């Protein structure tokens, strides 16, 4: 499949590497002094980096900001909910980060737009190496790196891709596709962790296995699955266009009309309409946003991220009105 067609389906590539310090209890059991020492060492190590990292101790972030970080996939919901000892360090370009004291002491992460697994793995690995200059990680032959949860032991690596599968959902072939890839060692979640009826037909596909495979092998296995899924999605799009004709186009374009004219809209409705409008743009029915811009907009209209855009904290009803306004404004040059 051409690179362009892959970019239509694959929204982002994420690599996450879990590491822990030897002889220090895991975060749920460690004391404040132990937590602070690790933070101190990590901060020191990152000073060596060319790129500046901003430091966000979770206790000093308001709940709304923490929630917005979850919506942006910078931190996990668990980190947001347990801010006492935890922190986030994130690079100026917002692609590379270190979560401190979630389940593991360190979780190094790189998220890049589109289908860029190798580059994400490269950057995350480099960052881990920088940290290794300052500290030693718990490692045991022949298992590999030790982690809090046994599912991460070995490489500590989780490779995930965010994929947009609206046509498979519309043709009803989505469930079969997801069932087909599960036995290949994949975990499937919605964009915000929910089940198979994911918001906006967006799914996170990631590896389950971290033991007995190298990092490169793991990436290759997941990428093969992603290519297969993207192929099926593209076939479903062609099928919808051929068989659905005007009815298909009508469904997608009405979503555009609603996004451009609604005066109040919930995040759930906005997410699912954006998914259809996005497909309309991919199909060439509409001069919409670029793929990356769509994904960004989809995250911007989530409750906490949207609220952070507004000075005075809006209640839910005001937020629905502001969301509609924000959508109209963002899409105003895309008739």
Under rule CB under 8 A, residue 184 binds a second copy: no
* Binding test (CB under 8 A) with a second copy, winner from 258, 293, 308, 314: 258
Binding residue for a second copy, selected from 46, 148, 256, 283, defined by CB under 8 A: 256
Report if residue 253 touches a second copy, rule: CB under 8 A. yes
Task: Kindly write down the DSSP assignment for every residue of 287-299, as one continuous string.
Answer: ----HHHHHHHHH
Comparing CB distances to a second copy, the nearer of 116 and 275 is: 275
**d(C-alpha 301, C-alpha 37), whole Å:** 38
CB closer to a second copy out of 161 and 286: 286
Report helix angle 291-300 to 316-330, nearest 10: 160
The 10 Å CB-count burial string (b at 16+, else e) for 247-264 is ebbeebbebbebbbebee
Instruction: Give the contact letters, 191-230, x = binds to a second copy (CB under 8 A), - = no.
Output: ----------------------------------------
Helices 174-181 and 215-239 sit at what angle, rounded to 10 degrees?
160
Q: Which of these segments, 42-50, 88-96, 160-168, 262-270, binds a second copy (CB under 8 A)?
A: 262-270
Among 261, 287, 290, 292, binds a second copy (CB under 8 A): 261
Q: In what order do the strands lie in the sheet with 106-113?
A: 53-57, 87-91, 96-100, 106-113, 10-19, 157-164, 202-207, 186-190
Q: Does 250 bind a second copy (CB under 8 A)?
A: yes
- Would you count residue 247 as binding a second copy (CB under 8 A)? yes
Complex with a second copy: residue 21 or 256, whichever CB lies closer: 256
| 263 touches a second copy by CB under 8 A | yes
Cα separation, 163 vs 165, whole angstroms: 6
Q: How far is CA 99 from CA 30, 86, 146, in A?
A: 16, 8, 17
Closest approach, Cβ 321 to a second copy, in A, equals 5
Report in angstroms how near the CB of residue 333 gets to a second copy at its nearest. Answer: 11
Binding site for a second copy (CB under 8 A): 246-247, 249-250, 253-254, 256-265, 317, 320-321, 324, 335
């Amino acid at each position: 499949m051409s690179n362009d067609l892959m970019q239509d389906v694959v929204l982002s590539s994420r690599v996450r590497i879990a590491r822990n310090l030897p002889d220090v209890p895991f975060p749920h059991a460690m004391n404040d002094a132990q937590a602070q020492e690790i933070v101190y060492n990590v901060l020191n190590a990152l000073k060596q980096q060319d790129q500046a990292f901003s430091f966000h101790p979770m206790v000093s972030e308001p709940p709304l900001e923490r929630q917005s970080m979850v919506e942006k996939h910078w931190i996990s919901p668990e980190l947001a909910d347990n801010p006492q000892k935890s922190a986030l360090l994130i690079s100026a370009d917002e692609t590379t980060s270190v979560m401190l004291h979630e389940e593991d002491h360190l979780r190094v992460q790189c998220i890049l737009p589109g289908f860029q697994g190798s580059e994400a793995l490269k950057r995350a690995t480099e960052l881990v190496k920088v940290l290794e200059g300052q500290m030693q990680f718990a490692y045991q032959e022949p298992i590999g790196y030790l982690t809090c949860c046994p599912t991460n032991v070995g490489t500590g690596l989780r490779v995930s891709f965010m994929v947009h599968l609206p046509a498979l959902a519309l043709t009803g072939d989505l469930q079969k596709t997801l069932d087909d890839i599960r036995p290949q060692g994949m975990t499937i979640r919605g964009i915000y962790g929910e089940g198979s009826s994911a918001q906006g037909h967006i799914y996170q596909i990631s590896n389950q296995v971290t033991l007995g495979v190298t990092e490169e092998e793991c990436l290759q296995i997941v990428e093969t699955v992603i290519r297969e899924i993207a192929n099926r999605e593209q076939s479903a799009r062609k099928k919808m266009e051929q068989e659905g004709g005007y009815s298909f186009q009508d469904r997608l374009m009405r979503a555009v009309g609603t996004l451009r004219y609604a005066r109040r809209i919930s995040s759930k409705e906005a997410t699912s309409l954006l998914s259809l409008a996005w497909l309309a743009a991919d199909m060439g029915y509409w001069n919409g946003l670029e793929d990356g811009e769509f994904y960004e907009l989809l995250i911007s209209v989530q409750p906490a991220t949207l609220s952070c855009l507004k000075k005075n904290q809006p209640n839910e009803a005001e937020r629905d009105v502001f969301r509609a306004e924000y959508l109209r404004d963002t899409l105003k040059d895309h008739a």
